[in-house]
Amino acid sequence: MGFFKKLGLNAAFRTAQELEAAGRFPEARAHYERVADGASGDLLTAALIRAGMIDTGMGDLLKAKAHFERAKAAAPTNATAWLHYANACFRLLDTGTADDAYHEALKHAPDRPDILYFQAVYYGDRMSKAGIAAARRAALALFDLLDKPGGPAALDELAFNRELPMIYLRNFSLEKQLPDDGLAALQEFAARTPGPGTAWVRASAFNHLGLLMANTGRYDDAIARYGEALRLKPAFIEARFNRGMTQVRRHDFDEARRDFGEYAKKHPKSPVGTFGMALLAETKGDVKECARLYRFFLQRVKAKTPPPSELTHLDIARSWIDHATTWLDALARPSEGGLFERNDPDS
pLDDT digits (tens, 9 = 90+) for 103-117: 999 999 999 999 999
How many Å separate Cα 28 from the centre of its chain? 25
Query: Quick one: pLDDT at residue 8?
Result: 86
Q: Is the per-residue pLDDT at 346 higher than 70?
A: no
The closest of 250, 234, 239 to 209, measured between CA atoms, is 239
Terminal alpha carbon distance of the chain: 76
Instruction: Please answer whether residues 271 and 251 qualify as being in contact, where contact means their C-beta atoms are separated by less than 8 angstroms.
Output: no
Work out the pLDDT band at 7, boundaries 50, 70, 90.
low
Any residues with CB less than 8 A from the CB of 127 and at least 6 apart, and which? none
Residues in the chain: 347
Query: Quick one: pLDDT at residue 321?
Result: 95
Query: Quick one: pLDDT at residue 337?
Result: 52
User: Using one digit for the tens of pLDDT, what is the confidence trace for 114-130?
Assistant: 999 999 999 999 999 99
Pick from 20-24, 51-55, 185-189, 304-308: least confident: 304-308
Q: Is the per-residue pLDDT at 217 higher than 70?
A: yes
Q: Is the per-residue pLDDT at 340 higher than 50?
A: no
Percent residues over pLDDT 90 in the chain: 90
Q: What is the mean pLDDT of residues 208-229?
A: 98
Q: Is the per-residue pLDDT at 334 higher than 80?
A: no
Q: Per the confidence metrics, is the pTM higher than 0.85?
A: yes
C-alpha to C-alpha distance for 243 and 219, rounded to whole angstroms:
9
Q: Which residues of 128-153 are buried (b: 16+ CB within 10 A; e: fewer)?
A: beebbbbbbbbbbbbbebbeeeebbe
Instruction: Please answer whether residues 267 and 310 qualify as being in contact, where contact means their C-beta atoms are separated by less than 8 angstroms.
Output: no
Query: Quick one: pLDDT at residue 49?
Result: 97
Instruction: Please answer whether residues 280 and 248 qualify as being in contact, where contact means their C-beta atoms are separated by less than 8 angstroms.
Output: yes
User: Using one digit for the tens of pLDDT, what is the confidence trace for 230-287?
Assistant: 999 999 999 999 999 999 999 999 999 999 999 999 999 999 999 999 999 999 999 9
Q: What is the mean pLDDT of residues 218-241?
A: 97
Average pLDDT, the chain: 93
Instruction: Please answer whether residues 106 and 119 qualify as being in contact, where contact means their C-beta atoms are separated by less than 8 angstroms.
Output: yes
- Cα–Cα distance list, 45 to 69, 98, 157, 261 (Å): 10, 20, 16, 50
Q: What is the mean pLDDT of residues 206-227?
A: 98
How many secondary structure helices (H) and strands (E) does the chain include?
A: 19, 0
Q: Is the per-residue pLDDT at 342 higher than 60?
A: no
All domains in the chain, ordered by first residue: 111-234 (1.25.40), 251-334 (no CATH)
Query: Quick one: pLDDT at residue 6?
Result: 45
Q: Is the per-residue pLDDT at 336 higher than 80?
A: no
Query: Quick one: pLDDT at residue 333?
Result: 82
C-alpha to C-alpha distance for 141 and 8, rounded to whole angstroms:
39
Work out the pLDDT band at 1, boundaries 50, 70, 90.
very low
Instruction: Please answer whether residues 186 and 165 qualify as being in contact, where contact means their C-beta atoms are separated by less than 8 angstroms.
Output: no
C-alpha to C-alpha distance for 143 and 126, rounded to whole angstroms:
26
Q: What is the mean pLDDT of residues 322-331?
A: 95
User: Using one digit for the tens of pLDDT, what is the confidence trace for 73-93?
Assistant: 999 999 999 999 999 999 999
Q: Is the per-residue pLDDT at 48 higher than 80?
A: yes
Work out the pLDDT band at 339, boundaries 50, 70, 90.
very low
Residue type, 47: A
C-alpha to C-alpha distance for 292 and 289, rounded to whole angstroms:
5
